[in-house]
A and B are shown apart, each in its own frame.
Chain A
Amino acid sequence: MEPNWALARKRPALEKRARILQGIRAFFVAREFLEVETPQRIPANAPEFHIDAVGSEGWFLHTSPELCMKRLLAAGYPRLFQLCRCWRQGERGSRHLPEFTMLEWYRAEADYRALMDDCEALLQALLPQGRLTWQGQAIDLAPPWERLSVREAFARYASIGLDEALGGGRFDEIIALEVEPHLGLQTPTFLIDYPVQLAALARAKPADPRVAERFELYIAGLELANAFSELTDPVEQRQRFARDEAERRAAGKPPYPSPEKFLDELAAMPPAAGIALGVDRLVQLLCDAATIDQVVAFTPEEL
């Protein structure tokens, strides 16, 4: 039989992917982050309204390694990173795979601003030439990158204001269709300070409790990472989980158990900041690939 030509054609992308993964490891190891592996099959994820987990014999495949990594933070590990597979039900598109690779890293005694610095340094380490072109769009990676508040982004790019979008339940739609395409086009953009109701595990900003210390990183309109200063108050966290779980049930979604061990140990967690970065999309960007399919060896449809 003839070799699978479509698979053979992916070779340059897969070789670049391997170098990027090695570059990410080298970056964090040099900064004295401990690489960890946490279980991918767990009894409970953080219950989030819009994220559906894949079940596995009564437990779940993790939607992110977040909870286990925070338990390590709470046990006194100050700097952690992990490269792992995550699963999310029903997510399949030109930028989405139901099984994908996530990079998460956490810093104790830091807030989300330290993670912005990390992002700038990581991309510089991966791309020493300081620029990239994705689908015809040239992007200058020289720091500091743009920091744009969610409120300002709505004022600048959206057809309706932030409060109207939140009140009408149209926030996600406006962000995805009207705002995202403008973000990170000349230089990467940190979209910062999300309305506090949109911050499941993030801490409210001390100077302005209406917003949470959360940011998303955009490059060339691609959403690459979600980060926040962690909420370390177990009482508040329990309330937010209960609210999200109630919303899930009201919408007819299957119930999720509460991650009790995480909630118990959260009280011991120091102030910290954490970030999740989609590695497949990062590779997509660095390979100038139009779709996420081009940078993974196999898509679900090819199995």
Chain B
Amino acid sequence: MYSCADLKKGLKLMIDGEPHVIVQFDFTKPGKGQALYKCKLRNMITGSLFDRTYRSGESFEPASLEEREMQYLYQDETGYVFMDNRNFEQVTMSADTLGDDKYFLVDNMEVKILLFNGQGIGITLPNFVNLRVTQADPWVKGDTAAGNNKPATVETGYSLQVPSFVEQDTLIQIDTRTGEYVTRVKE
């Protein structure tokens, strides 16, 4: 069982017999009062979102899900296709189910697929992925401040803020947990 202290973004809980994932989490506490744990939960089967606030002392059942290592193959009209390299079984997941995770899929990438009754309901990505910048404003000459940023788009269509010195065609590392730029990748 989990306690309130275990609650965090990404944690998977069983609520009313269905797996749910915490998609937003905030801890709050009136100065001298009781701690409250504000969660936005997504039902991992239906995708529906709702808010719930828990108070310290409550406990939670972990979601019983099967997790399998699989390889990302390709995207087609049915969705995103993954394969288990040991038995060649394939699982297809829709863009809706994947959410923003779809932007961080690189061909042949190893991911963990979450299965509930044989159906793919979510993936766990590696913490970092390397993606190539396909669009970024040119570097303004003389701008050397390390903290300056500008928008950029990577090959999967994902947009993010990058330091001003990152140019088009640069390979960059992105933290899939936050969706933020980490560093340039030496090639």
A223 touches B36 (CB 8 A): no
Partner of B163, one of A5, A12, A173, A251: A5
**Smallest Cβ distance from B126 to chain A, in angstroms?**
18
Instruction: Tell me the A1-35 residues at the B interface (CB within 8 Å).
Output: 1-3, 5-6, 8-12
Question: Contacts A93-B28, A94-B26, A96-B29 hold; do A50 and B35 have CB atoms under 8 A apart?
Answer: yes
Query: Of the 9-residue stretches A119-127, A141-149, A175-183, which lies at the interface with chain B?
Result: A175-183
A66 to chain B, nearest CB (A): 12
A92 to B38, CA, bound (A): 12
- Chain A: residues with Cβ within 8 Å of the partner, total of 33
A91 beta carbon closer than 8 Å to chain B: yes
Write the chain A residue with the least CB distance to B183. A2
B172 CB to nearest chain A CB (Å): 10
From A89, which residue of chain B is reached at the shortest CB distance?
B5
Find out whether the CB atom of B33 lies under 8 angstroms from the CB atom of A171: yes
Partner of B32, one of A3, A51, A94: A51
Given A198-B32, A223-B31, do A9 and B183 touch, yes or no (CB 8 Å)?
A: no
With A5-B181, A9-B147 as given contacts, are A172 and B26 in contact (CB-CB < 8 Å)? no
The answer to whether A5 touches B147, judged by C-beta atoms less than 8 angstroms apart, is yes
B165 nearest in chain A by CB position:
A2
For residue A226, CB closer than 8 A to chain B, the reply is yes
- Asked if B78 is at the interface of the complex by the 8 Å CB criterion, the answer is no
Question: Does chain A have a CB within 8 A of B140?
Answer: no
- A-B pairs with beta carbons under 8 A, tally: 73
Residues of A within 8 A of B30 (CB): 172, 175-176, 180, 216, 223
CB < 8 Å neighbour of B55 from A1, A51, A173, A180: A173
A105 and B171 alpha carbons, distance in the complex (Å): 52
Complex interface: chain B residues within 8 A of A9 (CB): 147, 149
Chain B residues whose C-beta falls within 8 Å of the C-beta of A5 in the assembled complex: 146-147, 149, 163, 181-183
State the CA gap A12–B149 with chains docked (Å). 13
B35, B57, B146, B180: which contacts A3 (Cβ < 8 A)?
Answer: B146
Alpha-carbon distance between A180 and B32 when the two chains are bound, in angstroms: 14
Closest 7 pairs (CB-CB, A-B)? A93-B27, A172-B33, A8-B147, A8-B146, A172-B34, A9-B147, A3-B146
Q: Is the interface of A mostly helix, strand, loop or mixed?
A: mixed
Residues 68 to 87 of chain A near chain B (Cβ within 8 Å): none
Q: Does B184 contact A (CB under 8 A)?
A: yes
Q: Which of B35, B53, B146, B147 contacts A90 (CB 8 A)?
A: B35
User: Residue of B at shortest CB range from A91?
Assistant: B29
24 of the cross-chain contacts (CB-CB < 8 Å) are A1-B183, A2-B183, A5-B146, A5-B149, A5-B182, A6-B180, A8-B147, A9-B149, A48-B32, A50-B33, A50-B34, A50-B35, A51-B32, A91-B29, A96-B27, A171-B33, A172-B30, A172-B33, A175-B30, A176-B28, A180-B30, A200-B32, A216-B31, A226-B31
Across the interface, which residues of B come within 8 angstroms of A2, CB to CB? 183-184
> Roughly how many angstroms separate A6 CA and B146 CA in the complex, as a whole number?
9
Q: What residues of chain B lie closer than 8 Å to A12, measured between beta carbons?
A: 147
| A148 CB to nearest B CB, Å | 15
- Complex CA distance for A91 and B181, rounded to whole angstroms: 27
Q: B162: nearest residue on chain A (CB-CB)?
A: A5
Residue among B32, B55, B147 having the largest count of chain A Cβ atoms under 10 Å: B32
Interface string of B22-55 (1 = CB under 8 A from A): 0000111111111110000000000000000101
Contacting residues, chain B, for A216 (C-beta < 8 A)? 30-31
CB distance from B178 to the nearest CB of A (A): 9
Beta-carbon contacts under 8 Å, A198-247 to B? 198, 200, 216, 223, 226
Q: A8-B163, A175-B33 are in contact. List 12 more A-B contacts (CB 8 A).
A: A2-B183, A5-B182, A6-B180, A12-B147, A50-B29, A90-B35, A96-B29, A172-B36, A173-B53, A198-B33, A223-B31, A226-B31
In A165-202, which residues have CB < 8 Å from any B CB?
Answer: 171-173, 175-177, 180, 198, 200
Does B32 contact A11, Cβ atoms closer than 8 Å?
no
Evaluate whether A90 and B34 lie within 8 angstroms (CB atoms) in the complex, with A8-B146, A96-B28, A177-B53 already known: no
